[in-house]
Amino acid sequence: MNGRLKLIEQQLVGINDAVFQNVCDTYLILREKHQISFNRTGSQTGKQKTVKGSPDTYFRNQSGGLILVEFTTVATGIIKKLKGDILKCLDYKVVKVDKEKIEKIILFFNSKLKINQEEEIVKFSQANKVDIELIGLDKLALDIFTEYHILAKDFLGLPIETGQILPIDSFVSEYNRKAGNLSTPLDNPFLGRVAELQRVGQALKSKDLVILSGPAGVGKTKFGLEAVKQFLAQNNDYTSYVIVKKDVDIWEDLRLQLHTDNNYIILVDDANRQMVNFLQLLGIFKEKRKGTIKIVITVRNYALDDIMTNSDNVDSEVIDLPKFTDDEIRNLISSDYFKVKHSKYQDKIVELADGNSRLAIMAAKLALEDQYEFLKGGVYHLYDNYFRTFIKDFDLFNNTAMLKTVGIVSFFFTLRRDDKLFLEKLLHNFELDHNDFQESLEELSRRELIEISGVNVRIAEQVMSTYFFYKVFIKDQKLSFNKLLFEYLGDFQHRFNETVILANNTFGYKEVLEKIQNDLSRYFHMYENNDDKIVPFIKLSWFYMRDESIAYIYKKVNQIEEVGAPVYDSHYGTNDFVYEDDKLLALLTPFFRSYAEDSFSVAVELSFEYARRNPSAFPELIRRLKENCSFDDDDEFNNTFEKQRELSEILISRSKENQLHYEEAFLGLATIFLKHTNRVFKTSRKNNAFIHYQYKVPLNETVKTIKAEVWNYLFIQNNKYPERVLKIINDWKPFYLEVDRKTLALDLPLIIDFIENKLNRRRFEDVHFVQDFVEWLKVIKPRNVKYQHLHHDFINDEFVDFAKFEWTRNRNRRIRKIDHNQFAILKAKEISKHFVFNEKSEFKRFGALIKNNLLASKDHYRNLNSYCIIMEDTFKKDKKLGFEMLKYFMRSKFHNNVPIPYKVICLLANDAEYNMSLWKFLKQWKHKDADRFKLTFFEALEDSFVTSYYTKEFYKTVNGLDSRAALNFRWLHKFSVFSKTIFSDFLNIIYHKKLQNIEVDIDYDFFENFTLQLREEIEILQELYLHEVSRLRGDFDYERTGLKVILSINKDFIFEFIKLFYFNGKLMNTKTDDLNFIWELLDENDMEKLFQDIISNTVQIGIGDEEVDMFFHNLSGDNRDTALQFLNKMIVKWCKDIRFVNCIIRLVRRYFRDQLECFLFKYLANNKSVDDFSEIYWRGNGGTYSGGVSVGEIQANEWLEISKMLDKKKNQLDLIPIKSFIKQRINDSLEYAEQEKVRRFRNPRYW
């Protein structure tokens, strides 16, 4: 007999009446699932005692039938006892119910009946006309053993199952009980992962196995529970369990608890740690069942392949749960459950957690308990508690060899177990036995502190690396940091950055410094004269070795010779420092970024001394100071803006000493102290990423002092640098949403006082500045309205003129909201009314407009409409005066590039009285823009004014061009009356000008519109076309319509076009070139020759677009059929030419994908050489891949597709060598896929 069944029987025989009745009542509750009522009349409430009377229990079934129940533990005289119980139940005086209403009597007894005894009881019940059910020891024990295990556990004290299959509530309670105070309970609210939950829900509809894969700490268990709960909400006929690991066999538990008729959803937590349980569950799953089993498992990333291998015949879906993003961590800890709202605490938690939600929750609790120590790095006990709960079932911390091993792996992050030379030296350096090291690796892997894949070993996660490195090398000094520094800094500097700096940021500056200071000092003094070693060392340790680092830089600066008459310029372009990094400034920059009271000012002054001696470094210094010393939240929290205060004081005090480089720096940096907000850019913790946000500068006492001092000194600088000061104020003006009202209340009185006392009401630049400033204030709407008088105080005639002249809506609210055309009409009327010139002596006013327009904007063409209106009106009123005004405008000394007032030129050129006067003036006008004006004159001439004289002059002008100009052929026809050949003449002139490197721009659609007209000049047209396309590349004749027209005249030009621009690398524009019309123009022989030329003169790599693709873009209709027919012929004709075949196959894959199999068979019908076949890019030649894809697997699948095509071919014998080759390619690709897995394993953060 089964041992457990025997124990159940023994316990049932030995229990008293009260316990027996409790067992049987519970049995009935579990068995009879649909009772209407249930009453235990034979049991005392709240006591383990029975009550005399009948029945002991009664209930009504689902149909309303009355069932009476009697229990007995009598061992002798059982027949008499059972008959007596039946009679009592039928006695109206006892039960007060007519026996006709009794549907059945159930008799429980904890003994066994022989056959004759059972027959006697049955006949007795039949004689009394009542149905009975006999449940004795055998029946009750078997049912408890097979179905109702909870009765054995709760009433008989027998754990039938091993406790590895738990209801969800029991699992959560057990997990929380074992987790400890600082760990993360599973019953806290579930937040985030909405998309992933939806994916699981969809997957469970069609899949039987869902695998949740991810690194440690991302909440796989919590997520799995939530997924199961959501599934149950939609599928209430399912029962849920969680399988946990307890290192005992689970098979009997599964057989007992998973009934074949029922539906179950099972969560297997950490399946990689309980593979045996998972495999036994799969065994149950594969049995023939009426019910359904859905399985959800959680697994670490590194073990996913093992899970997939063992479940490859189960319909499954893998759902990856990556680390939480920074934003997801913030949402989690700022929720109402945790309430961590302050950004600095959030930043710290995000940094500590590194995407680990479990650690984030623990950190959130700690932050709320001990805020100051938390932010200063006092979180060692957080990590300690986290990892002690993580490894709670074995004593790592007292195992020296294992602790050393995990410390070494934590520093290097990845190691190769087969790198004998490296490991031999490593273990010797740290006095660790090779066997102890290898055994420790295996144990640490079993405990999931490290991960092993083949010969590669890595620490399980970055957080773990930081903790164990700090504990082993720094805090407990189980391993020598000195040895690590001297032996490995050169080759593993990146790992020192990852470990030492993270340890500093995580556990605190002082805690790290006091342990490693002596080692750092020894290293510095040993190598301070070795630049190759000391520079990377300073980059790593400057914060611990500030005095020594500054001394080293000072020595380097003093070695630089001073330059005579230095010029300092704080301006720089966006990409000025992309390609070259100033080495000394790079060493000084960390001192700017991370403020330290004893070194910041020294570092700043040292940097300025360096820039004084090396002025070329000055712009980069300004950039670095802007980037690292602008107001931000880090400085607000860490030093309450002492950094900014010290920098502003240095700049002002040194500028007052007339040190020019400090003066220029103050002007270049002033706005960083004055702005209300600052756009902060920071390098993210994540690789190759950055974050940015708008930071609002708080107005504390330090900021007030800084701003007041900077404003006041800036206003003093107005005496020396008036334009720079006004520009700085204009640059300072915040946008409406950036304005801080309190800060503005500080700034505005200072600026208004400056305006009133320092600016000149007669100077246009000052008045223009004030008026713009007042307009800005009207938009900002400050509470202080004392600025309003400035609008009236700062006004003069020049500004009044300019305000009317300026082609803008900003200064006139009345016309701001009207449409563009209405505005143009009203503005023109306003200008005409305001500007009336009656004599030449008034042109001084017009000259002031020209000057002030350029002062207000460096754009010469700004307000050109206004110029034209004034000059047109003047000419219409007084032609002579108008002509003089145009000449005055053109001769103005304020113009560098004279804007062409086209409307005015048109007006005068087509005036019978003045067109000749204008032309004569243009001929004698000595100016670099004279030719542009002359060509505009000819363009403006109406047909009626064109004469033989002007035609000759036009020829002279074009022939005499010696600088870049533009000529539009569209208006040449008006000169053809006097020169029938003007189009061809000018074509030749322009062509020869271009040969002389004098560019004359022609119409963008010239070749499309004029080629047919000039077909007699086809050779020049072709040369000119090649010149234009070469010069302007893809911007000229973008759609190649001009080329198509040329080819319609001379189809052979395509060979010249291709030869020049695609063979010589001058124009690689295959993605935009669309020459599919070529199939309409060239016959098969021409196309073959064209292909031969291209293929023999270009490099084919099989990736992306190549030269021939321009003939296949957007193919359709007859052109597509023609192209496909051509390729079909060429694959046969050129089957021995590898380059030609490669070109054809790539085109087929790209544009005729459905024809690839046909081309494969056609090729093999004509060439069965394996050597040739191996040179063809049948599957392509790579591509661009992103994410975590396996390139090797992709390539293997591509070769597999080729193999499947070949399987369809009838004559397989001839294909044996080819198929053997493909099989080898598949194996090579799969081997490469394995190498990819190794690379991902060794460097998970970069894949």
Query: Would you say 272 and 299 are in contact if contact means Cβ atoms under 8 Å apart?
Result: yes
Q: Which residue has the higher pLDDT, 274 or 764?
A: 764
Alpha carbon distance 736, 720 (integer Å): 31
- DSSP tag of 291: S
Q: Which residue has the higher pLDDT, 1072 or 533?
A: 533
Q: Which residue has the higher pLDDT, 747 or 283?
A: 747
Q: Based on the fold, state whether residues 136 and 224 are members of the same structural domain.
A: no
Return the minimum-mean-pLDDT range out of 67-71, 450-454, 763-767, 919-923: 450-454
Mean pLDDT over 41-63 rounds to 78
Query: At which of 286, 306, 322 does a domain end?
Result: 322
| β-bridge pairing 293-300 and 209-214 | parallel
Q: Based on the fold, state whether residues 251 and 275 are members of the same structural domain.
A: yes
The amino acid sitting at 223 is: F
The owner of tokens 């008799």 is: 107
Q: What is the CATH number of the domain that holds 253?
A: 3.40.50.300
Whole-number percent of the chain with pLDDT over 90: 53
pLDDT of residue 1182: 66
Alpha carbon distance 1186, 1192 (integer Å): 13
Q: Based on the fold, state whether residues 80 and 184 are members of the same structural domain.
A: no
Q: Based on the fold, state whether residues 66 and 178 are members of the same structural domain.
A: no
pLDDT band (50, 70, 90) for residue 800:
very high
pLDDT of residue 685: 55
Q: Based on the fold, state whether residues 174 and 135 are members of the same structural domain.
A: no
CA 299 to chain centre: 25
Is 1037 a domain residue? Answer: no
pLDDT of residue 1121: 95
Query: Would you say 1094 and 1108 are in contact if contact means Cβ atoms under 8 Å apart?
Result: yes
Assess whether pLDDT exceeds 90 at residue 325: no
- DSSP tag of 894: T
pLDDT of residue 72: 92
pLDDT band (50, 70, 90) for residue 181:
very low
Give pLDDT tens digits for 851-885: 999 888 877 788 999 999 999 999 999 999 999 99
Average pLDDT, the chain: 87
CA distances from 78 to 9, 13, 239, 1020 (A): 17, 14, 40, 125
Which residue segment(s) compose the domain that 48 sits in? 3-154
Query: At which of 154, 181, 196 does a domain end?
Result: 154
- DSSP tag of 414: E
Give pLDDT tens digits for 431-461: 999 989 999 898 888 777 888 878 889 887 7
Alpha carbon distance 1182, 1174 (integer Å): 15
Return the minimum-mean-pLDDT range out of 147-151, 747-751, 878-882, 1073-1077: 147-151
Q: Based on the fold, state whether residues 127 and 171 are members of the same structural domain.
A: no
Handedness of CA 305, 456, 219, 684 (dihedral sign): negative
pLDDT of residue 1185: 65
Indicate the angle between helix axes 797-805 and 764-780, nearest 10 degrees.
60
Alpha carbon distance 606, 369 (integer Å): 43
CA distances from 1211 to 1186, 1201, 1203, 1223 (A): 40, 18, 14, 18
Q: Which residue has the higher pLDDT, 897 or 754?
A: 754
Instruction: Say how many Å lie between the first and final Cα of the chain, rounded.
Output: 58
The owner of tokens 């790539």 is: 1146
Q: What is the CATH number of the domain that holds 38?
A: 3.40.91.50
What are 664's two structure tokens? 């220029």
Q: What are phi and psi of 111, to 5 degrees?
A: -140, -175
pLDDT of residue 972: 94
Give pLDDT tens digits for 949-986: 999 999 999 999 999 999 999 999 999 999 999 999 99
CA distances from 113 to 19, 131, 144, 364, 675 (A): 21, 18, 19, 66, 97
Question: What DSSP line would sit under 1145-1185, residue for residue?
Answer: HHHHHHH-GGGHHHHHHHHHHH---HHHHHTS-TT-S----
Query: At which of 122, 154, 186 does a domain end?
Result: 154
pLDDT band (50, 70, 90) for residue 903:
very high
Is 595 a domain residue? Answer: no
pLDDT of residue 960: 94
Q: What are phi and psi of 1153, to 5 degrees?
A: -55, -40
Assess whether pLDDT exceeds 70 at residue 1235: yes
Q: Based on the fold, state whether residues 286 and 140 are members of the same structural domain.
A: no
Alpha carbon distance 1021, 853 (integer Å): 44
Is 309 a domain residue? Answer: yes
CA 454 to chain centre: 32
Query: Would you say 49 and 21 are in contact if contact means Cβ atoms under 8 Å apart?
Result: no
Q: What are phi and psi of 109, to 5 degrees?
A: -150, 145
Q: How many CB atoms lie within 10 A of CB 31?
A: 12
pLDDT of residue 1186: 62
The amino acid sitting at 977 is: V
Contacts with 445 (C-beta within 8 Å, 6 or more apart), sequence order:
451, 452, 457
889: closest CA among 903, 808, 967, 829? 903
Assess whether pLDDT exceeds 50 at residue 422: yes
Assess whether pLDDT exceeds 60 at residue 688: no
Is 1049 a domain residue? Answer: no
Length of the chain: 1247
The amino acid sitting at 1012 is: L
Give pLDDT tens digits for 1073-1098: 788 999 999 999 999 999 998 888 77
Give pLDDT tens digits for 374-414: 555 556 666 666 666 555 556 777 888 999 999 999 999 99
Is 143 a domain residue? Answer: yes
Give pLDDT tens digits for 519-572: 999 999 999 999 999 999 999 999 999 999 999 999 999 999 988 889 999 988
Helical H segments across 354-419, by residue range: 357-369, 371-375, 380-390, 400-412
Mean pLDDT over 761-779 rounds to 94
Give pLDDT tens digits for 597-625: 889 999 999 999 999 999 999 999 999 99
Is 929 a domain residue? Answer: no
pLDDT of residue 1061: 63
| β-bridge pairing 57-60 and 37-39 | antiparallel
Structural domain count of the chain: 3
Q: Based on the fold, state whether residues 183 and 84 are members of the same structural domain.
A: no
Give pLDDT tens digits for 1050-1068: 999 998 888 776 555 444 4
Alpha carbon distance 1006, 882 (integer Å): 36
Query: Would you say 558 and 608 are in contact if contact means Cβ atoms under 8 Å apart?
Result: no
Is 1089 a domain residue? Answer: no
Q: Based on the fold, state whether residues 129 and 266 are members of the same structural domain.
A: no
Mean pLDDT over 169-189 rounds to 67
Mean pLDDT over 213-237 rounds to 87
pLDDT of residue 163: 73
Return the minimum-mean-pLDDT range out of 460-464, 719-723, 766-770: 460-464
Alpha carbon distance 920, 642 (integer Å): 70
pLDDT of residue 774: 94
Give pLDDT tens digits for 89-132: 999 988 889 989 999 999 999 999 999 999 999 999 999 999 99
Alpha carbon distance 108, 135 (integer Å): 5
Is 1032 a domain residue? Answer: no
Q: Based on the fold, state whether residues 279 and 230 are members of the same structural domain.
A: yes
Q: What are phi and psi of 126, to 5 degrees?
A: -65, -40
Q: Based on the fold, state whether residues 181 and 141 are members of the same structural domain.
A: no
Q: Based on the fold, state whether residues 139 and 180 are members of the same structural domain.
A: no
